Chains A and B, each alone.
Chain A
Amino acid sequence: MTPMTDLTDLAPPAIRARGLSHFFGSVQTLKSVTLDIWPHEIFGIIGPAGSGKSTFLRSLNRLNDLIRGSRVEGRLEVEGRNIYDPGTNVVELRRRLGMVFATPVPLPRSIFENIVFGSRLAGVRKSGELKEIVRDCLEKTSLWEEVKDRLASSALKLSGGQQQRLCLARILALRPDVILLDEPTSGLDPISTMKIEETLRQLKRDYTIILVTNNTKQAGRVADRTAFLLAGELVEVGPTDQMFTAPADRRTDDYLRGRFG
């Protein structure tokens, strides 16, 4: 593993995994993963299909809990607290770690209602406040100009790229600390992908971003540091430039050169 960068001195890690293993029944999907993710970085996770990227992401907001037979060993800390301790407020955790999925999933309601869905759950009722949230989140994802005149129309009518930016805006409305993205551009065209990546770079100022991608070039373009997972094992983690130019592990080199995966 590469030595920690100077970021270490600035702040404690936002996320700290220590010997994190994950199982679905008897199948082990993560093998004792240890890594740190720093505040306000874009942390890329790459690896071939089935390497445990999404499982790692989903263990962060405990979405794996929804699957029968899911089990975790080791520690996974968010801002210093092990989120698998009994007594963790999972609803609160999921609000602080907003997640965007591979396929955009707008809920069958209006654009406006999609964005304020989380706010309403949390009990925000004042219409002025909700309107403010919608505008703010749509502006941050540069969707405002495109949809401001049809906030009341169904979110299902938006294009794929717009839907994915809507999903991102919907996350921002939660005012999270961390944004989890699970291959967010895998179904999008290059222009939509570019817009999302541009948005991520801007969001970095205010959020910690974890980006799972099966597109290594995307990690190269936007991630500050990158982790390479292979069959549930963390092969290598470090600054993206360094990993892409001089990978420490042979397997990383092979993967980046497209020899497998």
Chain B
Amino acid sequence: MKIRNNKAWWLVLPMFMLVAFSAIIPLMTVVNYSVQDIFDQNTAYFVGIEWYQEVLRNTRLHDALIRQFIFSFSVLAIEIPLGIMVALLIPKNANWKTSLVLILLALPLLIPWNVVGTIWQVFARADIGLFGWAINALGLNYNYTANSLDAWLTVLLMDVWHWTPLVALLCYSGLRAIPNAYYQAAQIDRASRWAVFRYIQLPRLKSVLIIAVLLRFMDSFMIYTEPFVLTGGGPGNATTFLSQSLTQMAIGQFDLGPAAAFSLIYFLIVLLVSWLFFTSLTYEQEHPDKSQVDQS
């Protein structure tokens, strides 16, 4: 079919320009860096894919990548179920008590990220921090500045504290959107609490959960500020995540070429994993007939 009038494409132009300046052009700059060896403003050599090869062979980065994946999946494994649980506990009817709960819940989301790091830095200190002191008082030896596992768990706990409210609020809005008739029908059908959750609430939370999973994956995969403030990546490299390695490389060592190549690979990983999540979670919607249902 021949399209006679395609003037409408002009309407896309402003958006395209915006995206070009905000994303595509900076990205191309990075691509440009990644294929050159840069010494100073006037001295640069074209090196082809050399930096990519180097980055892919770098074992420190491999370790950081593995740490990153473990961290992100731990975050998802804790925050998603916990967020759903919290959302289920919030009362459905709107009154001042519910509003108060929602406001309290949203507070961590309003705190600047470096402040979150600072709060936990103090909060978790074994000597003067309430949390660190309490853990030690319970007889557990806890010190996040010396023990890598402690440091790692503290970063995870901080992220859970910081971001579970987001998941909870998203889920709460999803739950509120379920018409009361479904609960009534379920009562009539003698559904147990679990059946109500499994067959009514969870399926209807799916769309908000997709958003929650994607947001939490991308954010946690790119986490920088909080661990940087809390542990500075230590002890050792225990809490050095990808973004921090990248920053060290680009600004600390001024290795612009490898850093650019690395950030492109980093970007592609985020894109790939997000795509995998999205397609697997929406697969059923796209192909309603292919997902075979069990018939007892």
Do the two shown chains form a genuine complex with each other?
no
